[in-house]
Amino acid sequence: MPFTVTIDSNSGFCFGVVKAVEKAEHYLTNGHQLFSLGDIVHNTCEVERLENMGLKTVTTQQLPNITNGTILFRAHGEPPISYQQAASQNLQVIDATCPVVLKLQQRIRAAWEKMKPLNGQIIIYGKKGHPEVIGLLGQINNEGILIEDSNDLSSIDFTRPIELFSQTTKSISGFQQLISNIEKQACNKDSFTWHDTICRQVSNRVPKMEQFATTHDVVIFVGGAQSSNAKSLFNECLKHNPNSHFVIDANDLKQEWFPLQTQKVGVCGATSTPQWLLEQVADAITNQFASLSS
């Protein structure tokens, strides 16, 4: 059987990231200077590609130093203070907030207004410090309670009303477990409300990734070192295929990963992994290792 390399058709940018990158490319190709508040995507290879086109990445701390320019707010979303800061500095904003995230921001803000007279609590299941979570908490003056796992449950007052939301990229199983834990401890079950706000385009990749991993001899997962989604999906690959390996780019490939009996190699990635990078890694595998197994 010949040596084949297949790219997972379900891998690559989610639609929110696609739109953000397209907006940046469109602006940059017209010769305009563009700033991005934070990395436009958690993938250094893609960030470097866009920076070579002229994109300048700045931090929140550096934002006050920019005036009369154009800044892009990435798909993760931003808290209201970022918009206020941009307006005060006469910055034009290209808002690339993912529509799914934007809707969640609006729902959390509305829930907070509803819960205030009830002395209720807004709970967000998410990762501390994640850009999306910072944006979500910012909608409610950082008065929400962030829960990363069951160890944080002590932060909740179970005698008061509770309204629970999730970061869009968290796992469904983890969210369901959190719901169960809160239901067990809530003093009044009727005062606990939860909303499944996990993006299905992201969560649906898990079973597809599992299937992809099991149908290949070797799996090469391409992702950014800082991407939570990449780490999570790679672990799913590893669970179902011990011959799974994580790479940032083609330079990380190792010959010992492709023993003589290797026939089917799968290349997959995260929602923050660009298609061009998946193709680059797949081509490198074919060029460097196909002859070794023949």
Quick: pLDDT tens for 64-80: 999 889 999 999 999 99
Where does a domain end: 135, 165, 200? 200
107 and 185, same structural domain? yes
| Residue 105 belongs to domain spanning | 100-200
> 14 labelled as ligand-binding?
yes
Number of domains in the chain: 3
Whether residues 67 and 47 fall in one domain: yes
The span from the CA of 135 to the CA of 97, in Å, is: 10
Residue ending a domain, among 178, 200, 222, is 200
pLDDT value at residue 215: 97
> Domain ends where: 200, 219, 240?
200
CA 48/CA 290 separation, integer angstroms: 29
Task: Judge if 263 and 214 occupy the same domain.
Answer: yes
> Do 111 and 194 fall within a single domain?
yes
Mean of the pLDDT values across residues 270-283? 97
Asked if residue 237 belongs to a known ligand binding site, the reply is no
Q: What pLDDT is stored for residue 128 in this prediction?
A: 95
Looking at the structure, do residues 104 and 196 belong to the same domain, yes or no? yes
Check 46, 78, 132, 236 and give the catalytic one: 132
pLDDT tens-place string over residues 83-129: 999 999 999 999 999 999 999 999 999 999 999 999 999 999 999 99
42 annotated ligand-binding residue: yes
161 and 173 together in one domain: yes
Question: Is residue 210 annotated as a catalytic residue, yes or no?
Answer: no
CATH code, 32: 3.40.50.11270
Beta strands in the chain (DSSP E): 4-7, 34-37, 55-58, 70-73, 92-95, 121-125, 145-147, 162-166, 192-194, 218-222, 244-247, 264-269
Which of 88-97, 195-204, 255-264 has the highest mean predicted lDDT (pLDDT)? 88-97
Task: Tell me, yes or no, whether 183 and 110 share the same domain.
Answer: yes
Shared-domain flag, residues 167 and 216: no
Is residue 76 a known part of a binding site?
yes
